[in-house]
């Protein structure tokens, strides 16, 4: 039989005739055909149809290839896949049939090598698994890939006695826990099959090593199935202790339970119990710590010294609730302890808050409240000096991390583009080229600020085509430009300003922009603007219309109109007119309901607090889902309207609200708002409230920065912030364990008094909140520090309640802290 | 692939309280460094576990492959255990100082130390602070029967891992002390760190730290706080925790975290971002590009003898080079893995990474490419501006994509390096 016949069978894809043909070959013919097959496969692999005939090729290779080193990669490459389910068994059967017929001496080697090549993460090589199981006999391989495939495809139903040797490796291989968690037959099967000692040993080792939740979960199931006896706990007691320091909370909980069982049987060494307690006290899970404390307390009578010293480990814990419980326990047993122990405890009590330290007869070491870092307005960076610098800034701004563009960078870029375009258009086009080559994806059909910014820069490459006829200074290029959906009034104004620059560069070039800020907040020094306008007047040109409007919006609120009195240009007149008639839109907080346009049922309705701006933003909730944070360049808004931060805040609120349940880095959005000017009213404080509850840590950190900036400028209204936080926490729009750490950070960074105001306003709304104790703890800390006096509505009722729930205990402490000054 | 050949498995004999760490590689096939007692056993065991854990972890794109063993250096008066995570993002070093060691030093040098699962479990079982008998290297009996009975382990040894391990030393030599926390404050701060990958900044405030979104003067960058979890079990024993970092300019940077245990110190260095290895930080390129570094490094390298602290002034004296050139030479030795940097003492120490064939040039493709550009005469000049192909270099800034992505935060690009080389020669 010639290779042509085999080739025809391969291409026809008929497994069984192919297998029969291969089996009928003589050794000499097989040798010759193998060469032909290799040549054929090489050509086939280079062809356009290399994805064809994979399965027959696998069979042909198995029938012909002369060595293990040739066949192993061949079988790995040509998979007989599960997708061809009808023929699947046939093809694998044919493969096995062909291999068996050859009676290869190197079969064991092939099995080992194939097993070593089986993937670990994806377990889709059923064909290889089949070959291995067929030919391994009583000497199974123990590679990770094989074991995981075997376990994942119900290996316990194909078990052979010789496989018992694999059990220790099965427990060892990463990934087996996940399988045991998902296929619960495995733990039970292993429990019946394996030596208990081996099983428990492997299980404990894996629980100590940790891993993903699913991986650990499987071993927790195994541990449960094994039903460890007290004797076994006693043998492995140190292994259980070793699970306490840095394992998952489920594992630590398990270890705690088992050790407790041992102790209940009276067989846990007391020294080890103290050791275990110290490890648990170093953990963050309050539930574990509390259970450990109660357990330790039971030994208080017998070993007062060790118990109090061990419990004192909790003095360094973050939670006052736990520290309080530790203090109660210690106070109970301290009298029975030795004098030296008592002295030691009193010394350690220095770390405690005053009231807790007093319970132990100690005093707290009075800590100095840190000062607020003073706020310094940041000067605007100097303009881009060279074309090379412009190229670099452009590449940086839209380079690797283009999630947001620093507003100062964007301002400097457009300023430089306009200036260089006036000076040397050719050279500018050269400098822009690398950027243009990097943005082949640019689509000018969008009217968002980001797209207009890129468009304006790219427009500067074109040759100018000045308008032939005389134009009015009132010419508005963007007059008929439709607002883009989802970017809001501020985004639209920004987009139109940038569009004007793009069109202006082509049709009506000017020597410079007048709106570039002089301070990072976006503010323009009035004298500088007057100077720029005087220069334009002297050179005989008028600034672009929207450019001038932007410049006006950046003038401080107390600008002296007299600075512009001497200007005779139209621009000068506009400035004077505008300064005389400057008005603020009305900003108000409102509860509004967002309804999804495509759903008429009410479950898509979402009610929340927003700020409305009249005129400008009457329906803020519309931007909750349909805002385009990337295209609208929100990071640029605060510095576009730097003296009306209430308006900016109102426009940011829908986005910040969405960020409480979405990931995405916003940059210095809130700090920019805090650095800006104009009244900081309800909208700013509502924006901060949402910021403090953002999902991403870095966004929350920015919100804390903003709170501190406002506090340093004496513009933080603690009462307003507290009121919003109280409302939002109460209705569940914000989560306590995000808000409380932020407030604590702010309070400990010098804003203690302001944060006390926040808490005093928020707490009355939150007495029924299940996490209110977290805030009360902070309130106690601040009340002890500041001695503010006064009353918090509702506190007395909560403090008067019976019971020892966290909130009641903390409320009592707060009463005492406030009562101290009454 | 790298192959370790140990005489036997490292093991901890729990009844005799004897820890035998096996060695492989370095100046001898199985060097013998130390026999004696190790002070507080529980602290040492916990710290060694942290080192072993980092050696066996990839914090980015975890895999199940076997990772590399830690490296131990005997500097005469102290032992240093170093490891580097598989993702090249976390470097860890445990310095066991003289006060914690009581015994005999047989030899100085650097070698790999075997860490295996039974040893890990035994170390985790250590619960008392009594002294522990420690042997680093084969003990007397094993030494006598060195007849090829070896425990062999094979691990992949990618160049970027090696480079990152080495480069960290040069990178950290530019760090300053940013904050020092008491043990209690450090516990509170580190245990309440929220999750998340994006870089935040830890800013000193009051006695502790707070998280900020913006880099300020004393801020330390913190990306992927889960990478600090290995420190947490040690905080119980800590005397103080110190934070180190380079001057911050707003971009994410590397950070150093040192737990001071008194007679031992554990230092972690984190890369600027979870997805970013320390290997590509380019801190050494400057020193390497300086023309004389090769020969200087040879000269300085020959003068080193596993000192615990390398004294630059003394080396300058002995080699006849200026202190600046000695520092460049040390940086070059750093990339070849031949010195390490101790943040707590702000000095280099001598160690030779026990991996053969470290080719500095092959490990630094940017340097190699820059040299190729110079060799091709690809650097032209337009006034002060170097023109390399279509890219224009002003000082340390370039118009290429690498510079745009990191703004010089990951070392110089090949164009700036090439321009510097040409300028240096002229």
Beta-bridge partner residues of A250: none
Q: How confident is the model at residue A597 (pLDDT cuts 50, 70, 90)?
A: low
* CA nearest to B201, candidates A407, A747, A745: A745
Please give the residue of chain A at the shortest CA–CA distance from B14.
A238
Tell me the average pLDDT across A201-221.
92
The answer to whether residues A726 and A771 touch, using CB atoms and an 8 Å cutoff, is: no
- On the question of pLDDT at A820 being above 60, the answer is no
For testing contact with chain A, the best of B127, B187, B393 (most A CBs within 10 A): B127
Query: Which residue from B64, B235, B390 is facing A175, i.e. has the nearest CB?
Result: B64
Phi and psi at residue A6, to the nearest 5°:
-65, -40
Tell me the average pLDDT across A556-568.
90
For testing contact with chain A, the best of B210, B224, B228, B274 (most A CBs within 10 A): B210
Print pLDDT tens along chain B (426 aa): 888 888 888 989 888 888 999 999 888 888 999 999 988 889 999 999 999 999 988 888 877 677 889 999 999 889 999 999 989 999 999 999 999 999 999 999 999 999 998 999 999 988 876 788 999 998 766 655 555 557 888 888 888 888 888 889 888 988 999 999 999 999 989 988 888 788 899 999 888 899 999 888 889 999 888 899 899 999 989 999 999 999 887 788 999 999 999 999 999 999 999 988 888 888 878 777 776 667 888 888 888 888 888 888 888 998 888 888 888 888 888 878 889 999 999 999 998 888 876 777 777 889 889 999 999 999 999 988 999 988 999 988 999 988 988 888 888 999 999 999 898 765
Q: ipTM more than 0.90?
A: yes
| Cβ neighbours of B125 in A, within 8 Å | 238-239, 241-242
| Interface contact flag, A173 B64, Cβ < 8 Å | yes
User: How close B397 gets to chain A, by Cα (Å)?
Assistant: 8
Half-sphere exposure of A736 (CA within 13 A, CB side): 19
A228 or B248, higher pLDDT: A228
pLDDT at A821: 41
| Interface contact flag, B64 A174, Cβ < 8 Å | yes
The answer to whether residues A817 and A760 touch, using CB atoms and an 8 Å cutoff, is: no
pLDDT at A85: 47
The contacts of residue A624 (CB under 8 Å, 6+ apart) are A594, A606, A608, A654, A657, A658
| Cβ neighbours of B128 in A, within 8 Å | 271
| Interface contact flag, A701 B212, Cβ < 8 Å | yes
DSSP A481: P
pLDDT at A681: 93
| Interface contact flag, A282 B233, Cβ < 8 Å | yes
The whole-angstrom separation of Cα A60 and Cα A91 is: 11
For testing contact with chain B, the best of A242, A427, A704 (most B CBs within 10 A): A242
Query: Which residue from A389, A434, A749 is facing B206, i.e. has the nearest CB?
Result: A749
Query: Which residue from A283, A316, A368 is facing B188, i.e. has the nearest CB?
Result: A316
Query: Which residue from B117, B210, B404 is facing A745, i.e. has the nearest CB?
Result: B210
Q: pLDDT for A107-158, tens place per residue?
A: 999 999 999 999 988 888 888 999 999 999 889 999 999 999 999 988 888 8
The whole-angstrom separation of Cα A450 and Cα A443 is: 11
pLDDT at A822: 37
Query: Which residue from B191, B201, B207 is facing A318, i.e. has the nearest CB?
Result: B191
Please give the residue of chain A at the shortest CA–CA distance from B208.
A748
* CA nearest to A709, candidates A520, A554, A550: A520
Its pTM stands at 0.90
pLDDT at A3: 87
Please give the residue of chain B at the shortest CA–CA distance from A283.
B191
- On the question of pLDDT at A603 being above 70, the answer is no
The helices-and-strands tally (H runs, E runs) of chain B is 13, 25
Q: pLDDT for A718-747, tens place per residue?
A: 999 999 999 999 999 999 999 999 999 999
| Interface contact flag, B213 A246, Cβ < 8 Å | no
Torsion (CA) B158, B162, B165, B170 in degrees, nearest 10: -130
The answer to whether residues A757 and A722 touch, using CB atoms and an 8 Å cutoff, is: yes
For testing contact with chain A, the best of B63, B396, B399, B405 (most A CBs within 10 A): B399
pLDDT at B64: 67
| Cβ neighbours of B127 in A, within 8 Å | 238, 241, 271-272, 275
Q: pLDDT for A648-707, tens place per residue?
A: 999 999 999 999 998 888 889 999 999 999 999 999 999 999 999 999 999 999 999 999
The contacts of residue A370 (CB under 8 Å, 6+ apart) are A748, A749, A750, B205, B206
pLDDT at B147: 55
Beta-bridge partner residues of B79: B74, B96
Please give the residue of chain B at the shortest CA–CA distance from A368.
B206
The contacts of residue B406 (CB under 8 Å, 6+ apart) are A400, B251
| Interface contact flag, B124 A239, Cβ < 8 Å | yes
Please give the residue of chain B at the shortest CA–CA distance from A276.
B127
């Amino acid at each position: 039989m010639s290779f042509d016949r085999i080739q025809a069978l391969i291409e026809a894809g008929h497994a069984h005739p192919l297998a029969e043909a291969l089996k009928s070959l003589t050794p000499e013919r097989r040798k010759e055909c193998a060469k032909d097959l290799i040549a054929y496969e090489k050509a086939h692999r280079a062809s356009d149809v290399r994805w064809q005939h994979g399965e027959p090729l696998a069979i042909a290779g198995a029938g012909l290839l002369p060595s293990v080193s040739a066949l192993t990669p061949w079988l790995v490459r040509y998979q007989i896949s599960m997708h061809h389910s009808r023929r699947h068994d046939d093809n694998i059967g044919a493969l096995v049939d062909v291999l068996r017929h050859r009676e290869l001496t190197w079969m064991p080697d092939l099995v080992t090598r194939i097993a070593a090549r089986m993937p670990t993460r994806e377990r889709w090589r059923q064909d290889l698994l089949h070959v291995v199981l067929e030919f391994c006999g009583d000497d199974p391989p123990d590679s990770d890939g094989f074991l995981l495939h075997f376990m994942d495809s119900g290996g316990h139903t194909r078990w052979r006695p010789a496989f018992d040797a694999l059990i220790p490796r099965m427990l060892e291989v990463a990934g087996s826990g996940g399988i045991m968690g998902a296929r619960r037959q495995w733990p039970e099967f292993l429990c019946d099959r394996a030596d208990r000692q081996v099983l428990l040993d492997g299980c404990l080792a894996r629980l100590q090593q940790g891993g993903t939740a699913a991986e650990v979960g499987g071993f927790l199931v195994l541990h449960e199935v094994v039903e460890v006896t007290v004797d076994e706990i006693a043998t492995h007691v140190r292994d259980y202790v070793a699970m306490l320091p840095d394992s998952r909370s489920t594992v630590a909980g398990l270890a705690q339970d088992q050790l407790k069982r041992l102790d209940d049987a009276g067989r846990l060494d007391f020294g080890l119990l103290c050791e275990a307690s110290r490890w648990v006290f170093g953990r963050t899970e309050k539930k574990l710590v509390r259970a450990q404390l109660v357990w330790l307390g039971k030994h208080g009578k017998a070993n007062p010294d060790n118990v109090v010293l061990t419990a004192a480990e909790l003095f360094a814990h973050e939670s006052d609730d736990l520290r309080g419980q530790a203090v109660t326990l210690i106070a109970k047993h301290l009298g029975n302890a030795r004098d030296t122990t008592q002295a030691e405890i009193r010394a350690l009590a220095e770390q405690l808050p005053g009231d807790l330290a007093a319970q132990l007869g100690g005093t707290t070491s009075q800590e100095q409240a840190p000062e607020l870092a003073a706020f310094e307005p940041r000067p605007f960076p100097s303009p881009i000096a060279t074309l090379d610098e412009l190229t670099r800034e452009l590449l940086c701004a839209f380079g690797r991390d283009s999630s947001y563009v620093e507003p100062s960078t964007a301002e400097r870029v457009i300023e430089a583009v306009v200036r260089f375009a006036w000076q040397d258009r050719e050279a500018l086009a050269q400098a822009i080229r690398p950027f243009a080559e990097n943005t082949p994806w640019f689509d000018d059909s969008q009217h968002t600020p980001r797209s207009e910014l890129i468009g304006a820069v790219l427009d500067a490459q074109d040759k100018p085509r000045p308008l032939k006829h005389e134009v009015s200074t009132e010419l508005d290029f963007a007059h008929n430009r439709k607002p883009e959906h989802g970017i809001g009034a501020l985004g639209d104004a920004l987009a139109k300003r940038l569009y004007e620059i793009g069109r202006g560069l082509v049709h009506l070039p000017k020597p410079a922009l007048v709106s570039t800020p002089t301070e990072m907040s976006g503010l323009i020094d009035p004298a500088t603007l007057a100077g720029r306008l005087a220069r334009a007047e002297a050179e005989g040109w008028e600034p672009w219309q929207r450019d001038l409007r932007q410049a006006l919006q950046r003038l401080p609120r107390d600008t002296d109109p007299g600075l512009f009195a001497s200007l005779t240009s139209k621009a000068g007149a506009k400035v004077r007119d505008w300064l005389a008639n400057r008005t603020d839109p009305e900003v108000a907080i409102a509860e509004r309901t967002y309804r999804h346009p495509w759903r008429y049922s009410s479950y898509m309705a979402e009610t929340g607090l927003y700020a409305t701006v009249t005129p400008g933003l009457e329906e803020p909730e519309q931007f909750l889902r349909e805002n385009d944070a990337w295209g609208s360049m929100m990071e640029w808004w605060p510095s576009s309207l730097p003296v009306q931060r209430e308006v900016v805040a109102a426009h940011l609120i829908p986005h910040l609200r969405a960020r409480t349940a979405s990931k995405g880095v916003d940059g210095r959005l809130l700090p920019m708002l805090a650095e800006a000017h104009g009244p900081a009213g309800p909208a700013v404080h509502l924006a901060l409230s949402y910021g403090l509850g953002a999902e991403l840590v870095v966004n929350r950190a920015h919100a804390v920065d903003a709170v501190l900036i406002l506090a340093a400028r004496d513009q933080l209204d603690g009462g307003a912030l507290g009121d919003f936080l109280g409302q939002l926490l109460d209705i569940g729009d914000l989560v306590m364990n995000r808000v409380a750490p932020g407030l604590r950070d702010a309070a400990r960074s010098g804003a203690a008094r302001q944060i006390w105001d926040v808490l005093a306003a928020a707490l009355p709304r939150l007495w029924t909140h299940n996490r209110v104790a977290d805030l009360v703890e902070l309130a106690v800390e601040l009340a002890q520090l500041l001695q503010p006096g006064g009353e918090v509505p509702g506190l007395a009722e909560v403090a008067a309640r019976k019971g020892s729930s966290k909130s009641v205990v903390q409320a009592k402490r707060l009463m005492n802290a406030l009562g101290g000054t009454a | 692939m790298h192959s370790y050949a140990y005489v036997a498995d490292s093991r901890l004999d729990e009844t005799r309280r004897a820890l035998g760490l096996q060695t492989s590689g370095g100046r001898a096939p199985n060097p013998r460094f130390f026999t004696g007692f190790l002070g507080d056993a529980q602290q040492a065991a916990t710290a060694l576990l942290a080192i072993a854990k980092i050696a066996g972890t990839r914090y980015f794109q975890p895999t199940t492959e076997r990772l590399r063993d830690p490296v131990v250096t005997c500097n005469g008066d102290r032992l240093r255990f170093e490891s580097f995570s598989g993702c090249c993002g976390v470097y860890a070093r445990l310095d066991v100082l003289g006060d914690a060691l009581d015994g005999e030093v047989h030899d100085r040098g650097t070698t790999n130390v075997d860490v295996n699962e039974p040893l890990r479990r035994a170390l985790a079982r250590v619960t008392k602070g009594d002294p522990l008998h420690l042997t680093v290297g084969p003990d007397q009996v094993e030494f006598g029967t060195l007849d090829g009975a070896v425990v062999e382990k094979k691990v992949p040894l990618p160049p970027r891992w090696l480079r990152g391990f080495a480069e960290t030393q040069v990178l950290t030599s530019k760090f300053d002390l940013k904050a020092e926390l008491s043990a209690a404050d450090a516990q509170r701060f580190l245990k309440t760190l929220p999750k998340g990958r994006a870089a935040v900044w830890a800013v000193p405030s009051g006695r502790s730290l707070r998280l900020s979104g913006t880099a300020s003067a004393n801020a330390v960058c913190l990306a992927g706080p889960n990478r600090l979890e290995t420190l947490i079990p040690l905080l119980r024993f800590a005397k103080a925790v110190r934070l180190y970092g380079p001057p911050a300019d707003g971009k994410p940077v590397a950070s150093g975290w040192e737990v001071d245990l008194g007679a031992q110190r554990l230092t972690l260095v984190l890369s600027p971002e979870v997805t970013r290895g320390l290997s590509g930080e380019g801190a050494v390129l400057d020193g390497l590009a300086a023309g004389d570094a090769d020969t200087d490094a040879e000269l300085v390298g020959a003068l080193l003898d596993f000192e615990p602290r390398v004294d630059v002034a003394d080396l300058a004296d002995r080699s006849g080079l200026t202190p600046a050139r000695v520092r460049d030479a040390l940086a070059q030795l750093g990339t070849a893995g031949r010195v390490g940097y101790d943040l707590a003492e702000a000095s280099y120490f001598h160690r030779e990474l026990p991996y053969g064939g470290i080719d500095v040039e092959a490990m630094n493709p940017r340097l190699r490419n820059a040299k190729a550009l110079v060799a091709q005469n690809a650097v032209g000049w337009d006034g002060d501006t170097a023109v390399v192909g279509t890219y224009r270099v002003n000082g340390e800034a370039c118009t290429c994509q690498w510079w745009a992505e990191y703004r010089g935060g990951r070392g110089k690009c090949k164009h700036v390096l090439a321009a510097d080389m040409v300028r240096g020669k002229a």
